């Protein structure tokens, strides 16, 4: 994809044994989307590839370390926030047996699995409002849920 990006972002959507999706409630210190809900993940460092960044961000934000190859690339797409901040996103997903009790919050107010029926009522960050509902209707989400 072409275009000037302010940032490259690797984010994750993990699906637990109930079909719930891991989301982060950001705190008031977040540089973007403070006090809103968003996907776990973040910026890809200079010289870093998206996939290793996804694993690194997951470990930094949750304390969870997945094995290489556990994540599946769901989508690569651009998103521009209303303030003009433009990012290139890779959204990775996986089925997981981890629970809320396994998570050590390294960033944000809390990181928990959320019932997909409750997600529309959350105050989602712009990129999450754009991508998460589409993920919940995707073939990959259906496949991850059926693996239960």
Q: Tell me the pLDDT tens digit for each residue of 77-119.
A: 999 887 788 899 999 999 999 999 999 998 889 999 999 999 9
2 part of a folded domain: no
76 part of a folded domain: yes
* CATH number, domain containing residue 78: 3.90.79.10
| End-to-end Cα separation, the chain, in angstroms | 34
For 130, other C-beta atoms within 10 Å of its C-beta total 15
Containing structural domain, residue 135: 7-146
Residue 146 clears pLDDT 90, i.e. is over it: no
1 part of a folded domain: no
112 part of a folded domain: yes
User: How much is the pLDDT for 18?
Assistant: 95
In angstroms, the CA 13 to CA 70 distance is 12
Burial class (CB in 10 A: 0-12, 13-18, 19+), 69: exposed
**Residues 10-32: tens digit of each pLDDT:** 999 999 999 999 999 988 887 67
Question: How remote is the C-alpha of 23 from its chain's centroid?
Answer: 7
pTM of the predicted model as reported, rounded to 2 decimal places: 0.91
User: How much is the pLDDT for 5?
Assistant: 61
What is the DSSP code string of 25-93? E--TT-SSSTTSEE-EEEEPPTT--HHHHHHHHHHHHHS--PPTT--EEEEEEEEE-TTS-EEEEEEEE
User: How much is the pLDDT for 20?
Assistant: 97
The total number of structural domains in the chain stands at 1
70 part of a folded domain: yes
User: How much is the pLDDT for 121?
Assistant: 96
**Residues 28-87: tens digit of each pLDDT:** 887 677 789 999 999 999 999 999 999 999 999 999 999 999 999 999 999 988 778 889
User: How much is the pLDDT for 148?
Assistant: 58
Give the residue among 21, 25, 29 at the shortest CA–CA distance from 109. 25
User: How much is the pLDDT for 2?
Assistant: 44
28: left (phi over 0), alpha (psi -120 to 50) or beta: alpha
């Amino acid at each position: 994809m072409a275009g000037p990006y302010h940032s490259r972002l690797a984010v994750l959507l993990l699906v637990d044994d109930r079909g719930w999706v891991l989301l982060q409630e950001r705190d008031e210190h977040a540089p973007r989307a403070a006090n809103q809900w968003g996907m776990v993940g973040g910026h890809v460092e200079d010289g870093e590839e998206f996939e290793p960044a996804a694993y690194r961000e997951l470990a930094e934000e949750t304390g969870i370390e997945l094995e290489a190859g556990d994540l599946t690339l769901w989508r690569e797409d651009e998103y521009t926030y209303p303030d003009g901040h433009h990012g290139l996103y890779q959204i990775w997903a996986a089925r997981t047996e981890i629970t809320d009790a396994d998570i050590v919050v390294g960033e944000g107010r809390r990181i928990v699995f959320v019932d997909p029926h409750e997600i529309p009522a959350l105050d989602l960050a712009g990129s999450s409002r754009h991508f998460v509902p589409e993920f919940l209707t995707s073939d990959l989400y259906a496949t991850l849920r059926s693996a239960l």
